[in-house]
Amino acid sequence: MTAAGRFAPSPSGTLHVGNLRTALLAWLFARTTGRAFWIRMENLDRTARGADVQQLADLAALGIEWDEPVSYQTDRLDVYRSVIAELTDAGETFECFCTRREILEAPSAPHAPDGAYPGTCRNLTDAQRAEKIAAGRPPAIRLRAAVAYFTVSDTQLGEYTGMVDDFVICRGDGIPAYNLAVVIDDAAQGVDQVVRGDDLLSSAPRQAYLATRLGHPPPSYSHVPMVLNNKHIRLSKRDGAVTLADLAAAGVSTATVLSRIAESLGLADHGEIVDIAALASRFDPAALPREPWIVTPDVFAG
């Protein structure tokens, strides 16, 4: 299978410049190493009508192209459920009836990492499970983790060792969990290079561990710095003109947006207008900044 990278947005709204910057980086990492590049809509949770179409249009406006088809996780529910069933049949899972509050308030298991699932439902008897089901609590399904930590390799950050607990692979509402779906999809699409924001670094050990458990080699990771607002808080659409449409309404062209993003990555001089082909010719992962990009109201001015 052809090696590949990917960009996997949630179609819950319009992409802001932080999302677009990460998409550009994912495209640069993939295309400059001869990889396929997939777009995957991670639409298992809340979505907004038409958001996927707008997101694709915004990516194309920057010059980002991808391999077809665009995939949607809701088209693959049977695949995820089949893997969950296989793990369950092999005794690799257990039902969990805990609420989030109960998990937060429960004492940690001895020697467990801070923040790990405390194992409350790991060894329930059949009678105890039947009692909870009779009380009307729909259970989530958790993987029985055989390790407490797992190490991944990151091109930007080096080796990172993070917690692995008995994490949820199917939610109480019957929807397969993100940590399961992303692993199955990456393996199915030949994704061996994952480029995403560094806010997702802590999830990489769980996902790499599950990939290994399912017999798939984990991808290489490149967690890139976030885009923050002038209060050093994660950028969001609440910060004003941070989408292509809003910036266009303020008189900022798409070419200027791309060039300012490029400037933030050290791929363009201040005020220089560049296209995506120029960025590919200049791209050097080792030279990427390690600090967040702070987007202030005047970033796109001038």
pLDDT in tens, 63-77: 999 999 999 999 999
β-pair partners for 195 = 222
Distance of CA 68 to the CA centre of its chain: 20
Query: Does residue 131 fall inside a structural domain?
Result: yes
- The greatest distance separating any two alpha carbons of the chain, rounded to the nearest whole angstrom, comes to 69
Q: What is the pLDDT of residues 19-55, one digit of tens each?
A: 999 999 999 999 999 999 999 999 999 899 999 999 9
Residue 27 and residue 85 in one domain:
no
Determine the Cα–Cα distance for residues 188 and 259; give it in Å rounded to an integer: 34
212 with 104, same domain?
yes
Q: How far apart are CA 26 and CA 19, in angstroms?
A: 11
Reported as half-sphere exposure (CB side, CA atoms, 13 A), residue 111 has a value of 3
Could you give the CA distance from residue 75 to residue 156 in angstroms, rounded to a whole number? 33
CATH of the domain at 88: 3.90.800.10
32-35 long-range contacts, CB within 8 A, separation 24+: 32/280, 32/283, 33/3, 33/5, 33/193, 34/3, 35/2, 35/3, 35/4, 35/5, 35/192, 35/193
Question: For 201-258, how does the pLDDT look when each residue is reduced to its tens digit (9 = 90+)?
Answer: 999 999 999 999 999 999 999 999 999 999 999 998 888 879 999 999 999 999 999 9
pLDDT digits (tens, 9 = 90+) for 59-116: 999 999 999 999 999 999 999 999 999 999 999 999 999 988 888 888 776 666 777 8
The structural domain count of the chain equals 2
Over residues 158-164, mean pLDDT: 96
**One domain, residues 22 and 105:** no
Residue 102 confidence (pLDDT): 87
Task: Tell me, yes or no, whether 90 and 148 share the same domain.
Answer: yes
CATH number at residue 277: 3.40.50.620
Q: Report the side by side order of strands in the sheet with 93-96.
A: 93-96, 140-143, 168-170
Q: Are residues 53 and 84 in the same domain?
A: no
pLDDT score of 281 more than 80: yes
Shared domain check, 105 and 133: yes
Which residue range forms the structural domain that includes residue 119? 77-184+208-216
The CA R_g of the chain, rounded to the nearest whole Å, is: 21
Q: Do 82 and 139 share a structural domain?
A: yes
Which strands form 193-197's sheet, in the order they lie side by side?
A: 158-163, 149-154, 220-224, 193-197
